[in-house]
Amino acid sequence: MTAVLLAGKMTAVLLAGKTTVQSLTENISEEYTLIVMAALFGSYSLIGGIGTTFYVSYFNACLAFIALAVFFTEVLYTNTSNFPNVGDISKMYDIVSCVEGSNGINYMTFRSESGIVYGIVGFFVATSVVYCDQAAWQSRIAAKPMQGVWGFILAGLMWIAIPSTLGNTTGMAYLTFSAENKTHLLSPSQIDEGLVSPLVAEKVLGPSGGIMILCMVFMAVMSTGSGEVMAISSIIVYDLYQVYVRPYRANQQPAHCILCGKASEESAEDSNTKGRTCQCPSVRDCRHCVEDVAAALTSSSGARPPHRCPVHGAYRRYQDYLIDFKSWCIVWVSICIIPYGLIIFASRVDLNWTFFVGSIVTIPAFPAVVLAIMWVKQTPEGTIAGGLSGLFAGIAATLITASTYEGGLNNFVVNTSQEYSILAGSGCSFGFSMIVCIIVSLLTHKIESKADADAEWQKMYDIDNPLSPWEHTYREDLKQHVYDKKPSFDQMAATFRKAKLIAYITGGFSIVLFTFVIPGIMASFPSLDETEFKVWIVLNQAWTVFMGLVAIIAPPVEEILKIRKQRRANKAQEPIKLLASN
């Protein structure tokens, strides 16, 4: 399922990049566009890695919000002689309110059957993409719980601001231009390809507008595409190659040390087992590791110095090998983008089809992922059965519903992307997956007591890298607790209880607010009059500006505070180091 989701996201990225580049660049071929994107994704992933992704994504977000602010200011508030109706919200409202959409629906109402259907589908699509994307999980794991919770809540609020404001702005401008032209400037297929924003930007801002949109899209495409390349490479290396092809220690037992293969002291049943349990020192307390790290830092040659530590040296060499192998995987995955992209382009599917219909095959993974995090009784059999049943049910429901439209499945792309085809596929994918996953897990689990549940969670608890133990990462957060090598479940739960509550409260509040409250309020108006429409537009823009300020200001402020905190900690350690040296 994860592989299918990654393929879907990569498809959307390639289509978005190709469409934008070809709409703003004259006589550029699909092959050249693919080569450029593959080179960008590969080099960005190979050189930068996930650490650099955070910093570059920050600049991408800054650029996106600044460009969006310039864009809606020029379109809605700046009058030009070339387009007398653009730049005045009142004039644009008068024009757009007289235009009828599909099925005679007025654009100034939220009471749209298709809008409700796509709102439900969008909920399924967005949640499945967020929960099942390996690239997003890599970012989550790299962040501590509290920073991760606030980071992803704010990221969600920012994500809501950008498409809402951009869609309102470009949609109004496009309808205004089309009304002045007495016909649509783009065909339905071109609209589905996402050409509205480039068209409006170039008309209003000229060549600079085209460059601005090109930069916005390519920065977003580069961040997303490189994230997917790293995600695919990580799955190949760490989930497949490391586990099934070349594990460090074959037949590794649960709760056993990966370095020596012996049981950890915490899991040993007999207290008189010294010599038969793991006695490996921590990497931070290992004198040989300190010497190896110092040799690596002071090495003047390009080659890695040998790892001489008798405990951790072999595992360090194994990790170096995996890193080299991952680099090659990144190169080959980037190269494979070119033939994969050519196949996608030849299929002539559009971005709209990929986003909605393509997500039907990823939605079945969503219930399984959520249950795996929150329910200890979920089993591998339940996960597989739920995912496959949801996949087949979703595809079948989509095809059956699509066959009822004019042309049936002969008009495949159009009819499978009809609103009720997508709704049927999404609902069946999610429903069958969740129900089957729960039923099969209840029939196959072996959890009979709290001890069994604790032993099951222990499997996740024991996932660790001996060269960078997670306990060291959270040691400062756990300083109020007393423990031996690792904190207990209860200590971890007490330490991060605040982050858990914030995640539940803010997540639930966001779902209720944006799924029910705001749509309900807007749907209470039969049709927005000019004042109500202006309030809606201004609130959208205010929210975008506010989230843009948060995106631009918050990260550097947090970095400065971290630097100050570390500086104080270093100063506090100076007297101790001085006494030790004397």
The listed range with the strongest mean pLDDT (46-55, 252-261, 385-394) is 385-394
- The whole-number pLDDT of residue 389 equals 92
Question: Contact at 8 Å (CB) between 469 and 285?
Answer: no
146 and 201 housed in the same domain: yes
**Which range among 64-68, 181-185, 263-267 shows the weakest confidence by mean pLDDT?**
263-267
338 and 398 housed in the same domain: no
Higher pLDDT, 156 or 329: 329
Cα–Cα nearest to 358, from 408, 400, 413, 406: 413
Answer yes or no: is 117 within a domain: yes
Answer yes or no: is 501 within a domain: no
The listed range with the strongest mean pLDDT (290-294, 320-324, 435-439) is 435-439
43 and 113 housed in the same domain: yes
Question: Contact at 8 Å (CB) between 311 and 280?
Answer: yes
Q: Which of 445, 469, 492 represents a domain boundary (last residue)? A: 445
Q: State the average pLDDT over residues 529-554.
A: 89
Answer yes or no: is 558 within a domain: no
Q: pLDDT by residue (tens digit) across 444-479?
A: 988 888 888 877 777 777 778 888 888 888 888 888
Token digits for 469? 């133990």
Residues 6+ away with beta carbon under 8 Å from 81: none
Residues 6+ away with beta carbon under 8 Å from 580: none
- The whole-number pLDDT of residue 400 equals 93
Angle, CA of 523, 528 and 530, to the nearest 5°: 160
80 and 98 housed in the same domain: yes
Q: State the average pLDDT over residues 220-249.
A: 84
Q: State the average pLDDT over residues 64-83.
A: 81
Q: How many domains does the chain have?
A: 2
331 and 418 housed in the same domain: no
Backbone conformation region of residue 27, classed left if phi is above 0, alpha if psi is from -120 to 50, else beta: left
Is residue 190 scored above 60 in pLDDT? yes
Distance CA 537, CA 543 (A): 10
Answer yes or no: is 100 within a domain: yes
- The whole-number pLDDT of residue 2 equals 57
Answer yes or no: is 303 within a domain: no
Inter-CA distances, 266 with 229, 261, 262, 454, 467, Å: 38, 14, 12, 13, 19
Answer yes or no: is 131 within a domain: yes
Residues 6+ away with beta carbon under 8 Å from 167: none
Is residue 555 scored above 70 in pLDDT? yes
Answer yes or no: is 274 within a domain: no
Exposure letters 290-310 (e unless 16+ CB within 10 A, then b): eebbeeeeeeeeeeeeebebe
Cα–Cα nearest to 363, from 192, 155, 163, 130: 130
131 and 244 housed in the same domain: yes
119 and 26 housed in the same domain: yes
Is residue 271 scored above 50 in pLDDT? no
Is residue 52 scored above 60 in pLDDT? yes
Domain encompassing residue 393: 357-445
Token digits for 377? 């009784």
386 and 435 housed in the same domain: yes
- The whole-number pLDDT of residue 293 equals 77
Map tokens 């297929």 to a residue: 189
362 and 229 housed in the same domain: no
Mean pLDDT, the chain, integer: 81
Token digits for 70? 């310039």
67 and 108 housed in the same domain: yes
382 and 417 housed in the same domain: yes
Q: State the average pLDDT over residues 348-370.
A: 80
Q: State the average pLDDT over residues 417-440.
A: 90
DSSP per-residue letters across 204-216: HHTHHHHHHHHHH
- The whole-number pLDDT of residue 438 equals 93
Answer yes or no: is 285 within a domain: no
Cα–Cα nearest to 349, from 187, 122, 193, 225: 193
Grade residue 396 by pLDDT with cuts at 50, 70 and 90: very high
Higher pLDDT, 178 or 24: 178
333 and 378 housed in the same domain: no
Grade residue 130 by pLDDT with cuts at 50, 70 and 90: confident
- The whole-number pLDDT of residue 564 equals 85
Q: pLDDT by residue (tens digit) across 229-240?
A: 888 888 888 888
Q: State the average pLDDT over residues 216-235.
A: 79
Is residue 517 scored above 80 in pLDDT? yes
